Structure 1
Amino acid sequence: MAGDHLSNDEFFAQLANLFEHNRKKGHSSVYLVQKRLSFDSSAAPPTPTKVADDPLWDTHPENPLPILIRASNNKSDKRPGTDREDIVKIKLSTVVQPDDLDAFYLRYAEACRAGMSGLKKRDKKKGKKDKKKKKKGVGEIKG
């Protein structure tokens, strides 16, 4: 399974391409997932020591564990008649070692910020302010 993962540098290059590809195609969703790798599939699973009072005893491993980072455009709908028929699903993943986490997250934040640069600012609804004013006026007694 380790052969399926990209190196960190390749991952950032492909992530930039994924953001650019989605921006050009008009599809704006890029799904980013990160999770702790529980153990290397080629080795035996770790056996954490159980602590009597701690219900989450298995979340405290003896050694820091690597992190799996995934990115995809989640375009898997191949049904006829949908606008997603011709879009290929792109899936990227990399494994980050605990010693490299700080440097990785700095680059990761820069890549995400650059990928989000073309987004439109969200329109704030004016109706929320009007509703709050009406609610305040409901409890008042006019005399």
Structure 2
Amino acid sequence: MVARDHLSNDEFFTQLGNLFEYNRKKGHGTVYLTQKRLAFETEGQAPSSDKVADDPLWDTHPEKPLPILIRANNNKSTPRAGTDREKIDKIALSTIVQPDQLDAFFVRYAEACKAGMSGLKKRDRRGKKDKKKKKKGATETKG
């Protein structure tokens, strides 16, 4: 696994806004947002037996608060045969949020996500209802 440089929180929000705008201009695309806590212990290191014996969920309440890793990407698009989709370069962003900055970060994060979703169209569900009615009508008339 290659280590990536993480953006500062301010740079992350700037780039996240640009990513939403980029997808809006393209007319299609998805932005994947993920978050996970950072553990400082090395992977594969077995917990001490007394931690497991005392509490099987010992890792859910660490001794000190852990920072959070926030990622955003557009999930690199590869064109399929027979489609007119163009190849889109992968854009990946990440930042680390310290525990004492979480509240302020998530306020800005929610605002950025809402702003990024402002151009979404409401999903058209009429097609599914029409198909169900047609199927239901066709089965009733056969009998």
Length-normalised TM-score, structure 2: 0.74
Amino acid at match of 1:4: D
Unpaired runs of at least 5, structure 2: 137-143
Q: For the structure 1 residues 76 and 40, does the alpha-carbon distance in structure 2 shift closer, same or farther, using more than 3 Å as the test? A: farther
1:109 paired residue number: 110
1:97 aligns with 2:98: yes
Amino acid at match of 2:129: G
Q: Partners of 1:101 and 1:33 in 2: how far apart?
A: 15
- Can you list the C-alpha shifts for 1:2-30, whole angstroms capped at 9, x where unaligned? 87000000000000000000000112300
The aligned length equals: 126
Q: Partners of 2:64 and 2:3 in 1: how far apart?
A: 19
Unpaired runs of at least 5, structure 1: 135-143
Counterpart of 1:127 (choices 106, 129, 133) is 129
Identity of aligned residues (%): 72
Length-normalised TM-score, structure 1: 0.74
Matches within 5 A, 1:1-143: 4-39=5-40, 50=51, 52-77=53-78, 83-85=85-87, 87-125=88-126, 127=129
The secondary structure found in structure 2 opposite 1:64 is coil
Amino acid at match of 2:21: E
Could you tell me how far 1:66 is from its partner in structure 2?
0.1
Alpha-carbon RMSD across the aligned residues, in angstroms, is 3.0
Could you tell me how far 1:54 is from its partner in structure 2?
2.2
| Residues 75, 84 of structure 1: 8 Å contact kept | no
